[in-house]
Structure 1
Amino acid sequence: MDAHSSLVFPFSIIGFDLDGTLLDTSGDLAAAVNHAIGTIGRPPLPVEAVKPMIGGGARRMLEHGLTTTGGCDPVTLDMLHRRLLDYYEAHLAVHTRPFPGALDALDALTAQGVTLGLMTNKLERFARAILDALDLTHRFAAIIGGDTLGAAKPSPRPIQAMVAQCGGGRAAFVGDSIFDVQAARGAGLPVVACAFGFLSQPVETLGADAVIQGYEALIPTLARLGSSGPSATLSTNAA
């Protein structure tokens, strides 16, 4: 650990987004989008083009994909949404892997006595299946999907439920999208943004309390953020 390990860690709960935060799911999500739009003769999108479409749920991602490749109408969107979900469910963890340093950060937080939670706009059954495939499910005291409560980010309700399921206490959230920031803000939590995530806009414009370039910066950033108070705006350039 670092110099902060000798201090009492300021948060009892840390919540994480999944796609673009803990896991690089872009390869499998792009494959699902391309399968769906390919059934109506649309050209495939490169993974880098799909990344900014991720974060608002599968339907929103598909809508962006259709718009990009020739237009979107409600009937086609409804039809292809089912095809995308069916394909994705059968290919959830082909290319998906944790981001570099993510597991070490989870280990370090757990060693500090921190309870870990997860809130994603992905369907809960998909999130759990991916975590099971990567042997990560046991690390989280709460796993909430975009369908669990009938509300997804940017609603603060799922974040609030995550904190409650983790036992309550001072919490912070880690994500990569404007939905993450808005939901955490609405729930009254400070939020750290991941510059390596699936960004649809410059990370500095998300309005997060802190920005990290890599997971090795997460623990010291959270320690400083906790000691500075929820209104502090911090940034680190750690690679």
Structure 2
Amino acid sequence: MTLSLIFDLDGTLIDSLPDIHAAMNRVLVARGSAPLSRAQVQGFVGKGAPNLVARCVEAGGDAPDGPVYAEVLAAFLREYEDATGLTTLYPGVVAALEALSRAGYALGLCTNKPLAPTMAILRHLDLARFFPVVIGGDSLPQKKPDPAPLFETQRRMGRADMIFIGDSEVDAATAQAAGVPFLLYTEGYRKGPVDTLPHSASFADFKDLPGLIAQITAPAAP
């Protein structure tokens, strides 16, 4: 089988927002800034740590590209590198990944989360065994929605075709830019209605994912 299934991480396989929110507020409070709400931080998630920090700094009234930004980014990356205690798997993820692996699909991961915390959480939740190829937000100069990280994941996997599975506007735009099918997990961090995101199919429960992929990849009837 030549098909690669490439997954996003945050908001797709894991709910990492509690750790992201807590780490960011530890940094902000330590420097005398007001903490941000969970909803505020969630609204900034998706385009990588530099964008997240820039938006959080801006929300606090500071320039998103000034000295405060550099200070907060460095502190956040230190805090977040091994922040795993509040992050949880979405229901059914492990069973779905096991079923897809048994079916012969190659699994890869393409996320805007920096690589170090990505690997830390994969080890913590015992997901690393599923993903021999992982591209993080700092693995390349480009980040999603630029399709380059997705294409690099595919290249390293050595498979001819791919499907991308994600949860957000950024993921949908990445798949669209790459010209590949996109499966939307509807219970993650998207900001708008499902019908505003281009996607091939959507699912709310991971138990439905193996069947959905089998359906999409089934040969057309003659």
Query: Above 0.5 in TM-score?
Result: yes
SS at match of 1:74: coil
**What displacement does 1:85 show?**
0.8
Of 83, 87, 94, 2:85 maps to 94
Partners of 1:175 and 1:194 within 8 A in 2? yes
1:106-145 to structure 2, matched below 5 A, reads 106-145=97-136
Partners of 2:14 and 2:88 within 8 A in 1? yes
Q: For 1:13 and 1:114, locate their aligned partners in 2 and report how far apart those are by CA, in whole Å.
A: 6
Q: Deviations over 1:154-177 (max 9, x none)?
A: 111111111122221221011112
Q: For 1:86 and 1:165, locate their aligned partners in 2 and report how far apart those are by CA, in whole Å.
A: 28
Structure 1 counterpart of 2:17, one-letter code: S
**What displacement does 1:63 show?**
2.3
Partner residue, 1:45: 36
Partner residue, 2:24: 33
Q: For 1:58 and 1:30, locate their aligned partners in 2 and report how far apart those are by CA, in whole Å.
A: 12
Are 2:58 and 1:79 aligned? no
Q: For 2:38 and 2:32, locate their aligned partners in 1 and report how far apart those are by CA, in whole Å.
A: 18
After the TM superposition, which of the residue ranges 124-133 and 23-32 deviates more from structure 2?
124-133
TM-score (norm 1): 0.84
Query: What is the number of equivalent residue pairs in this alignment?
Result: 219
Partner residue, 2:6: 15
**What displacement does 1:71 show?**
4.6
After the TM superposition, which of the residue ranges 70-79 and 207-216 deviates more from structure 2?
70-79
Q: For 1:58 and 1:149, locate their aligned partners in 2 and report how far apart those are by CA, in whole Å.
A: 14
Using the aligned pairs only, state the percent identity. Answer: 32
Partners of 2:92 and 2:206 within 8 A in 1? yes
**What displacement does 1:228 show?**
8.4
Partner residue, 1:162: 153
**What displacement does 1:122 show?**
1.1
Structure 2 gap segments, 5+ residues each: none
Partner residue, 2:191: 200
Q: For 1:190 and 1:68, locate their aligned partners in 2 and report how far apart those are by CA, in whole Å.
A: 35
TM-score (norm 2): 0.90
Over 3 Å counting, the alpha-carbon distance change for 1:53 and 1:228 in structure 2 is farther
Structure 1 counterpart of 2:85, one-letter code: V
Q: Deviations over 1:168-203 (max 9, x none)?
A: 122101111222112222222101111111122223
Partner residue, 1:233: none
Structure 1 gap segments, 5+ residues each: 1-8, 230-239
After the TM superposition, which of the residue ranges 108-117 and 40-49 deviates more from structure 2?
40-49
Partner residue, 2:213: 222
Partners of 1:141 and 1:165 within 8 A in 2? no
Partner residue, 1:152: 143
